[in-house]
Structure 1
Amino acid sequence: MGATAQGKGSGGGARLLANKERILALWEERLRQEVSAAAGESHALLIDTLPVLLRQLAEAVSSQHPRRTATEGSTIAEEHGSERVRVTHFRLNDLITEYMLLREVLFAVLEESEPLSAAERNTLNASLDQAIAEACTGYVLVNEGLREQVFATLTHDLRGPLSAAKVNAGLILRQPSGEQVPRWAARVADSIDRADRLVQNLLDAMHMRMGGRPALSLEACDLVDAVRQGVENQQAEHGERFVLVAPEPVWGCFAPELLRRAVENLVSNAVKYGASSRPITITVRQGHGRAFILVHNHGSYIPAAQQARLFQAFQRLPGAEAGGKRGWGLGLAQVRGAAEAHGGSISVDSLPERGTTFTIDIPKDAPPLKDI
Structure 2
Amino acid sequence: MQKAARLLKENNKEIIKKWEEKVNSEIEVSQKTSSLALRNQLPHILEDIAEIMERHNDFEPAKNDEEYKKIIKNSLDHGRHRATTTNYTVAEILKEYFVLYRVLTDNLREANVYDESTSSILKYTLEMAMIKSASSFTSAINDMKEKLVGTLAHDIRNPISYAFLALDLLDPEDSPETIEETKKMATSSLNYSLKLIEGLLDAISVEAGEGITLNFEKANIYKDIEWVIEEAKMIFTPEIILTSNSSSIIGVFDGTAIRRMLENLVTNAVKYGDQTHPIQVNVHEFENSFNLTVHNKGIPIPEEKQAEIFNYLEQSKSYNGDGIRSWGIGLSLVKAVTEAHGGEVELTSTKKQGTTFKIKIEKYKNKPGKVKSLITYK
TM-score by length of 1: 0.70
Cα distance, 1:293 vs structure 2: 1.8
Aligned to 1:296: 295
8 Å CA contact 1:280–1:295 kept in 2: the answer is yes
Are the equivalent residues in 1 in contact too, given 2:163–2:190 (CA < 8 A)?
Answer: no
2:273 maps to which residue? 274
> Could you tell me which residue of structure 2 aligns to residue 126 of structure 1?
124
For residues 77-110 of structure 1, the C-alpha deviation after alignment (integer angstroms, 9 at most, x for no partner) is 5544544348734532343233234335545666
Instruction: Report whether the alignment pairs 1:10 with 2:2.
Output: yes
Q: Please state how far the C-alpha of 1:13 moved relative to its aligned partner.
A: 0.5
Q: Do residues 65 (structure 1) and 65 (structure 2) align?
A: no
Structure 1 spans left out of the alignment, 5+ residues? 1-8
C-alpha deviation, 1:32, in angstroms: 7.9
Aligned to 2:113: 116
Moved more, 278-287 or 322-331: 322-331
Instruction: Look up the equivalent residue of 1:336 and give its one-letter code.
Output: K
- In structure 2, the partner of 1:332 is 331
Post-superposition shift, 1:335? Answer: 1.9
The letter of the residue matching 2:49 is L
Identity among equivalent pairs (%): 24
* Corresponding residue of 1:221: 219
Alpha carbon RMSD of aligned pairs, Å? 4.8
Give matches, 1:33-112, under 5 Å.
Answer: 34=27, 36=29, 43=36, 49-62=41-54, 64-65=55-56, 68=59, 72-73=63-64, 74-80=68-74, 82-83=76-77, 84-85=79-80, 88-89=84-85, 90-107=88-105
Residues 342 and 369 in structure 1, CA contact (< 8 A), matched pair in contact too: no
Residue deviations 1:261-314 (CA, integer Å, cap 9, x gap)? 211122222222233222222222244623322222232333344334323346
Contact 1:310 1:332 in 2 (8 A): yes
Give the conservation status (yes or no) of the 8 Å contact 2:305–2:319.
no
**Contact 1:350 1:357 (C-alpha < 8 Å) held by counterparts:** yes
Structure 2 unaligned blocks of 5 or more: 372-378
Distance 1:163 1:310 in 2: 28
Conserved? CA contact 2:151–2:330, under 8 Å: no
Q: In 2 relative to 1, CA 369–251 (structure 1 residues): closer, same or farther, beyond 3 Å?
A: closer
**Does residue 310 of the first structure (1) align with residue 302 of the second (2)?**
no
- Structure 1 residue 260: Cα displacement: 1.8
The letter of the residue matching 2:53 is: V
Distance 1:170 1:110 in 2: 75
Task: Show the counterpart of 1:5.
Answer: none
SS at match of 1:277: coil
CA contact (8 A) 1:296 1:358 kept: yes
Counterpart residue type for residue 272 of structure 2: Y
TM-score, normalised relative to structure 2: 0.70
SS in structure 1 of the partner of residue 309 of structure 2: coil
Q: Which residue of 2 aligns with 1:255?
A: 254
Take 2:300 and 2:342, find their aligned partners in 1: how far apart are those partners?
28
